[in-house]
Structure 1
Amino acid sequence: MFLGIDIGTSGVKAVVLDERGAVVAQGVAALTVQRPHPLWSEQDADAWWQATDAAVRALPADVRRAVRGVGVAGQMHGATLLGEDDRPLRPAILWNDGRSHAECAELDAAADFRGIAGNLVMPGFTAPKLAWVRRHEPETFAKVRTVLLPKDHVRLRMTGEKASDVSDAAGTLWLDVAKRDWSDALLAATGLSRAQMPRAVEGVAVTGTLRAEVAEAWGMAGVPVAGGGGDNAAGAAGVGVVTDGDALLSLGTSGVIFVATKDFRPNPARAVHAFCHCLPGLWHQMSVHLSAAACIDWVARLTGAAGAAELFARAEAAGPASGPEIFLPYLSGERTPHNDAEVRGGFLGLDHDTSPERLAQAVLEGVAFALADGLDALRDAGTTVNRLSVIGGGARSRYWGQTIAAALGVELVYLSGGEVGPALGAARLAQIAVDGGAPADVCVPPPVSHTIAADPLLAERLAPKRARFVDAYPRITPNRTRA
């Protein structure tokens, strides 16, 4: 059996697969995000380890004893700054933190980040976070001996080894993505060196073994730990998006459209991300939206819904395009296609008849329209997408899927167990690391649960609201310009 661990933003998930790829056990533990100032988003790195320990211990003891390998996946871009003793110097700065906009412009002018890293310099990436610390917390920056991404900090606690797979490392902006290795020039532009980086590895490489005390606490042997992947790349591996042109839609806290590519295809002009895949010899393109299922949880709290299920039921009671309400889902800023850390969400078109049901429907539509913006950016880059495999917590709602399929004009393919997400891929990467095998043979798609075709009548009904949505962004940001 193989254990996959996903260090998410809202929690840690541990999943065990048997040798046939079937999920046999799951464990979860919650995490919280701290927002001490506007635009800030932080977590205590020690909380990742505590939640990982709790999620693994929640698995049945007999299942844990049978584990032969571990893979790790996790939220990307988080800056975990360690001192000489390998302890965190400050809370980790997360992927949806927007404080470093000024530093982005300075870094973009200092080195060829767009050409080497293949991406715009955005506040969500790791490099500008370090530039911010260098400017605003110089005493902390001077003590930094290692910078790790969230899952790689957990790896350090598990194995004592400092390593990062190239799919996650690509999201730092310090990786030469075409060469799949650190760029000394990009590191130097941030005041860092290769000595402060973990070693860069492929996702199927063995990076170490469980430390004796961890193995004993978890009731396991000292099994190998694979390189793993950033959450989106690992999620793709989990559902078989492992050949050129395969694509998925991840509906987690953030929303991501991910397309596997056989070569490095950067397109920074439209804020499309181009990273390494977690499998050797593959890359990928992504459109990234900072708030997706997070908007569902937010409006549920706002309107007093008991949870996401009740929120979806309210939206369905209202029906598609049932009112004039437009929702802009920029609760944490936005990446693709706007690259705007400062923009914030909002409702437009409220009237005396606005109800919780219509607000719920507007939120589902607003996230769908943002995803359509991202897909347009991918298509502008020459990428063809006609069907998307769907993963993440948002995959549980078939009703939302109908709205998304119509807004994007694609078929959505729902996979049994797809909501397991990146932990599934992490476990499969562990299986390849331990047993070998071709990725296409191990990372096979789960069985199809159902599909949702794009309904042309629904698309026609949504089109006027989509046009108003697209028109709204430049109107709410009249005095600001973007790269």
Structure 2
Amino acid sequence: MSNTVLGIDLGTSAVKCVLTNNGKVTGTGTSELSLSSPRAGWSEQNPQDWIAATLAAYRDAIDAAGISPDEVRGISLSGQMHGAVLLDANNVVLRPAILWNDNRCTIECKILLERLPEIGMIAGIPPLPGFTAPKLMWLKTHEPEIFAQVRAILLPKDYIAFWLTGVLGTDVSDAAGTLWLDQATRQWSDAAISASEIEPEWLPPLHDGCERIGPLSQAAVDALGMRADTPVFAGAGDAAAGALSIGAASAGKCFISLGTSGQLLVVDDAYYPNPEQFVHAYCHTISGLWYRMAAMLNGARPLSWFASVLKCSVPELLAEAETADLDRIPLFLPYLTGERSPHGDPDIRGSFYGLDDATGRPEMCRAVVDAVAFMMRDAFDSFGDSFTPTDVIPVIGGGSRSDLVLQTLANILGCSVARTDGGAEGPAFGAALLAEVGIGVRQLSDLSFDTVMTDRFDPLDDPALHKRLASYRTLYRALRGAL
């Protein structure tokens, strides 16, 4: 009998589907998504576009695997966190989903913190504009006619699960990013719900990641061609699913992700909140585990942004950075969309400082590379003494493809980092592993494994780099709130 399962990852820019059979990837498919920004700082998507993209990516994965849809035995999901999908009494979507990188809720965050000063200890992070709870507060003030019709709130991946099953639900790792979850008890927080002025019955039932939500609905059976009894499992938010993709499912496991956004994630067997440093302390999707994560909105994105400004590719940018005059590198703040960890500063923006008439493209390119590493060092330091890596830190994501980025990162962190063979399929693969647990072909304990390291980068003594780090931090402090 087939042990094939499907992992679906709803990203911001694309939906990715991965088919696995006993942990081996047999087929993948990707379908791109677009963003809507009706006003400056807004970021929205139409949930129906997610369904269309999921179907397209799924068909490509099935074709790549060369199997029949009725061979798929289970489905699980991963997805972008913090978004707000709003349903009415008939479970019809009321408006476009407001996404994680939407900044319209700054005022509501301040109000929520005033109403519930201890929310950072309850929810694992102080209120920030991208999170779900302040989105609903904004809706109540600015779109009261829509707010009056809300009867259910789902996170993005959970809307796909709802389309698949007709059942409302979420997992604890995705719920962790709403500000409504009590991370210590792994239940919805009455205090946070009350402070944000929503109704508790609007929130879906909570599950661990490998728990079954329901079988496929008839509409999903017709669209996918799968068996009617195919189970759908709750899955995980993209951070937790990404952790699973490289075996980070036991206390002490850690990794760095350098994608569009950036993360430093450490798995714990207890809840360790650190709201003052804007370190996210969240439930993992596996019972008995939590994780701490420094979450940077910008990650390796500044590299692709500056490459687009220069009208070149990222590899070309990195090649130019290698030729920079190291005595003439300016400073670059990479905060193109504000920042979360460790600043909690939605208003800061990117900037170059220290340009002179001898500054060229290579020096500016190198400044952007440095800034990616500086951002991660700030994240590293935000953990304090509670995080002291004793081994090589695996690095995943597009930024990990660059030798220059990884060597700069090792130099500024003062510890070894390495590329991995794991994580290539990312959160979609992590979701598939949860589905394998759900159908019984994998044990929960099997989710913790050592990912294979490839290229290792050991730290080199680089006093000039550390001097630029100090200047970088001084520049941020000088510009914070100045404009």
State the TM-score, normalized to the length of structure 1: 0.94
**Match among 98, 101, 113 for residue 96 of structure 1:** 101
Cα gap change, 1:438/1:220 in structure 2, threshold over 3 Å: closer, same or farther? same
Separation in structure 2 between the aligned mates of residue 266 and residue 401 of structure 1, nearest angstrom: 29
Query: CA 1:239/1:267 → structure 2, altered by over 3 Å: closer, same or farther?
Result: same
State whether residues 244 and 447 of structure 2, in contact with CA within 8 Å, keep that contact through their aligned partners in structure 1.
no
- Residue 119 of structure 2 is aligned to residue 117 of structure 1: no
Correspondences of 1:76-475 after superposition (within 5 Å): 76-111=81-116, 112-222=118-228, 223-305=230-312, 307-318=313-324, 321=326, 323-380=328-385, 382-386=386-390, 387-435=392-440, 437-455=442-460, 457=461, 459-475=462-478
In structure 1, C-alpha distance between the alignment counterparts of 2:348 and 2:68, rounded to whole Å? 45
- CA change 1:443–1:18 in 2 (3 A) is farther
1:234-263 CA distance string (max 9 Å, x none): 110111111111101111111010000000
Q: Shift of the alpha carbon at 1:140?
A: 1.2
Separation in 2, partners of 1:464, 1:357: 19
Please list every run of 5 or more consecutive structure 1 residues that lacks an aligned counterpart in the other structure.
none
Q: Which runs of 5+ in 2 are unaligned?
A: none
Q: 1:33 to 1:395 in 2, by over 3 A?
A: same
Distance 2:425 2:358 in 1: 39
1:17 equivalent in structure 2: 20
| Counterparts of residues 14-93 of structure 1 (less than 5 Å) | 14-19=17-22, 21-61=23-63, 62-63=66-67, 65=69, 66-93=71-98
Q: Secondary structure at the match of 2:287?
A: coil
Kindly state the Cα deviation for residue 417 of structure 1 after the two structures are TM-superposed: 4.0
Deviation at residue 56 of structure 1 after TM alignment: 0.9
Judge conservation of contact 1:118–1:267 (CA < 8 Å) in 2: yes
1:159-201 deviations in Å (ceiling 9; x for gaps): 2111111001011000111111111221121111221011111
Tell which deviates more after alignment, 129-138 or 446-455: 446-455
Task: Give the CA deviation at 1:478.
Answer: 4.4
Q: Quick check: 2:300–2:399 contact (8 Å CA) kept in 1?
A: yes
Conserved? CA contact 1:396–1:419, under 8 Å: no
Note the C-alpha offset of 1:16: 1.6
1:49 is displaced (CA, Å) by 1.6
Contact (CA 8 Å) 2:415, 2:458: kept in 1 or not? yes
Question: Structure 1 CA distance, aligned partners of 2:196 and 2:481?
Answer: 31
Deviation at 1:153, TM superposition (A): 1.0
Tell me, yes or no, if the aligned pair for 1:174 and 1:186 is still in contact at 8 Å.
Answer: yes
For residues 43-92 of structure 1, what are the alpha-carbon distances to aligned partners after superposition, in whole Å with 9 as ceiling and x for unaligned? 22222222111111111333453322111111110111122232222221
Identity %: 41
Tell me, yes or no, if the aligned pair for 2:245 and 2:422 is still in contact at 8 Å. Answer: no
- Tell whether the 8 Å contact from 1:39 to 1:342 is kept in structure 2 after alignment: no
Aligned 8 A contact 1:328 1:346 in 2: yes
Q: CA deviation at 1:431?
A: 0.6
- Give the counterpart letter for 1:103 in structure 2: E
Aligned CA RMSD, in angstroms, stands at 1.8
Q: Which amino acid aligns with 2:28?
A: Q
Higher mean C-alpha deviation, range 408-417 or range 251-260: 408-417
* Alignment-derived partner of residue 7 in structure 2: 4
